[in-house]
């Protein structure tokens, strides 16, 4: 399983210029590679791909030894790969009939990624933790939590965000046990909303914390101040930095809160059901609030999902249609339908309760239905496998079959599955260790 861990970096004063140089040099490389692709197409109708550019990279680096040559090859290659990804995404979306934007020139690149050869975090002699970055050196970092046991660092991304440096470590950890094939011990349904951030089927409701409002008020103020400065002036640029910091602060606060809430849900329940709602289709609230809430909901669901996976629990998404209107006791639809201002749910069957709690209970019921169906299907599958008659083979044939099977496992890799494509096996000349 893949997990990512973030740590704040505290580069030394002598390291900062080198890190900043990475941002501008990578932007130069990006723009150069982009221009080359465009020129090749407009002049010669020839498309250039990543591998062509990777070959050229050696020459570029030799030619520009004071600039590009000072970057690590791995970092430069990653930049070209990202450009390639941008082009692929562009062409894919064109094929799908969308109208995407063409990959753009960049003034600065905010992050760079590399694949470490060895474990990149070390402890220095005075007891502080350091992150090894090629061609930059050892950057001090705050190791606010240890890496999980058995984790292998696959890639490291160094990121600049509003005056601060961060590192993201993408880890490969041993797969946690799959959820047990039995009904959950504690299950909960969650209704996401705008007035209450989340309402649980137990009746609890989660309010947005006070600092959300404080942060947003500050954002508004900084935006207003920026609009009063002359574009491009020193004060304008300084104010832009200040605004970026305020945005980053709010973003981190929201993220922190989503972590707390999802942790709490994952710790208390081994099944959490969310509505699979499409926030863009919701008409309530102003565009800003909608955007913020949208991001918050998506993040909360994603965080809960991976935290449940780590704990061998389940996090389900259920169809959202009608969860507000149905009665959670008898299943009848509200007549007349509930309006946005109605806060209580009353049903002719006698059920009476908060409208959001009613919705959360519906979400939970749908989640349980989904799960029981899944369990029934998987147990039927297990039975089918068990009841299949085993063929008794002997001697040479078994040996050959076993040999063939083991060779396939050793020499083949499965391709396609992670990208949602049909799986097939590719034979490799060299066995994978
Ligand atoms: Zn009812």
Between 240 and 331, the higher pLDDT residue? 240
Query: What is the pLDDT, as a whole number, of residue 342?
Result: 81
Query: Is residue 275 annotated as a catalytic residue, yes or no?
Result: yes
The CA 258 to ligand 1 mean position distance, Å, reads 33
Q: Which of 89-93, 102-106, 395-399 has the lowest mean pLDDT?
A: 395-399
Instruction: Give dist(CA 286, CA 43) in Å, integer.
Output: 48
pTM of the model: 0.76
The dihedral formed by the CA atoms of 314, 317, 318 and 324, expressed in degrees to the nearest 10 = 110
Query: Is residue 270 annotated as a catalytic residue, yes or no?
Result: no
The CA 325 to ligand 1 mean position distance, Å, reads 10
**Tens digits of residue pLDDT in 279-325:** 555 545 555 565 556 667 888 999 999 999 999 999 999 988 888 88
Of the candidates 78, 84, 222, 356, the residue annotated as catalytic is: 356
The CA 354 to ligand 1 mean position distance, Å, reads 13
The CA 350 to ligand 1 mean position distance, Å, reads 6
Q: Where are the beta strands (DSSP E) in 23-134?
A: 111-114, 121-123, 129-133
Tokens (6 digits) for 253: 């606060």
Query: What is the pLDDT, as a whole number, of residue 380?
Result: 77
* Section 389-402 average pLDDT: 52
Instruction: Give dist(CA 373, CA 6) in Å, integer.
Output: 38
Is the pLDDT score of 175 beyond 60? yes
Cβ proximity of 141 and 10 under 8 Å: yes
Is the pLDDT score of 112 beyond 70? yes
Of the candidates 78, 84, 275, 308, the residue annotated as catalytic is: 275
The CA 349 to ligand 1 mean position distance, Å, reads 4
Is the pLDDT score of 423 beyond 70? no
Of the candidates 191, 222, 270, 326, the residue annotated as catalytic is: 191
**Tens digits of residue pLDDT in 135-147:** 999 999 999 999 9
Q: Most confidently modeled of 212-216, 243-247, 400-404, 406-410?
A: 243-247
Is the pLDDT score of 41 beyond 80? yes
The CA 345 to ligand 1 mean position distance, Å, reads 9
Query: Is residue 356 annotated as a catalytic residue, yes or no?
Result: yes
- Tell me whether strands 412-415 and 424-427 are parallel, antiparallel or unpaired: antiparallel
**Tens digits of residue pLDDT in 326-372:** 888 888 888 788 887 788 888 888 888 899 999 999 999 999 999 99
Query: What is the pLDDT, as a whole number, of residue 262?
Result: 95
Q: CB 46: neighbour CB atoms within 10 A?
A: 11
Is the pLDDT score of 394 beyond 80? no
> Residue 361 to residues 194, 320, 340, 349, 354: CA-CA distances in angstroms?
18, 12, 18, 16, 11
The CA 357 to ligand 1 mean position distance, Å, reads 14
Ordered by where they begin, the domains of the chain are 1-175 (no CATH), 187-214+243-376 (3.30.420), 406-433 (no CATH)
């Amino acid at each position: 399983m893949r997990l990512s861990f973030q740590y704040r970096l505290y580069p030394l004063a002598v390291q900062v210029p080198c890190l900043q140089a990475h941002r501008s040099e990578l932007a130069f490389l990006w723009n150069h590679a982009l221009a080359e692709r465009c020129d090749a197409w407009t002049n010669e109708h020839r498309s250039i791909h990543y591998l062509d550019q990777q070959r050229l990279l050696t020459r570029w680096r030799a030619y520009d030894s004071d600039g590009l040559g000072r970057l690590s090859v791995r970092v430069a290659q990653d930049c070209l790969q990202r450009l390639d990804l941008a082009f692929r995404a562009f062409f894919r979306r064109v094929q799908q009939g969308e109208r995407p934007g063409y990959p753009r020139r960049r003034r600065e690149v905010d992050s760079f990624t590399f694949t470490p050869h060895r474990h990149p975090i070390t402890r220095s002699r005075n007891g502080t933790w350091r992150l090894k970055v090629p061609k930059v050196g050892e950057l001090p970092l705050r190791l606010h939590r240890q890496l999980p046991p058995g984790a292998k660092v696959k890639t490291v991304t160094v990121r600049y965000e509003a005056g601060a440096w961060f590192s993201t470590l993408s880890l490969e950890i041993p797969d946690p046990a799959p959820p047990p094939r039995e009904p959950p011990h504690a299950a909960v349904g969650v209704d996401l909303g705008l007035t209450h951030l989340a309402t649980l089927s137990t009746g609890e409701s989660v309010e947005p914390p006070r600092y959300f409002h404080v942060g947003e008020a500050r954002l508004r103020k900084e935006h207003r101040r920026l609009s009063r400065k002359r574009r491009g002036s020193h004060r304008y640029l300084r104010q832009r930095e200040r605004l970026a910091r305020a945005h980053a602060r709010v973003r981190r606060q929201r993220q922190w809160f989503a972590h707390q809430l999802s942790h709490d849900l994952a710790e208390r329940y081994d099944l959490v059901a969310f509505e699979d709602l499409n926030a863009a289709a919701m008409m309530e609230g102003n565009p800003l609030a909608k955007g913020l809430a949208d991001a918050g909901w998506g993040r909360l669901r994603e965080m809960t999902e991976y935290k449940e996976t780590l704990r061998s629990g389940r996090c389900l998404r259920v169809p959202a249609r009608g969860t507000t209107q149905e009665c959670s006791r008898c299943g009848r639809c509200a007549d007349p339908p509930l309006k946005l201002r109605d806060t209580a749910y009353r049903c002719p069957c006698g059920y009476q309760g908060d409208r959001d709690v009613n919705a959360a209970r519906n979400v939970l019921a749908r989640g349980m239905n989904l799960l029981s169906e899944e369990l029934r299907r998987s147990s039927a599958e297990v039975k089918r496998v068990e009841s299949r008659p085993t063929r008794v083979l002997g001697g040479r044939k078994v040996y050959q079959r076993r040999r063939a099977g083991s060779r396939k496992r050793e020499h083949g890799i499965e391709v396609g599955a992670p990208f949602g494509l049909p799986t097939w096996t590719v034979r490799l000349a060299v066995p994978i260790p």
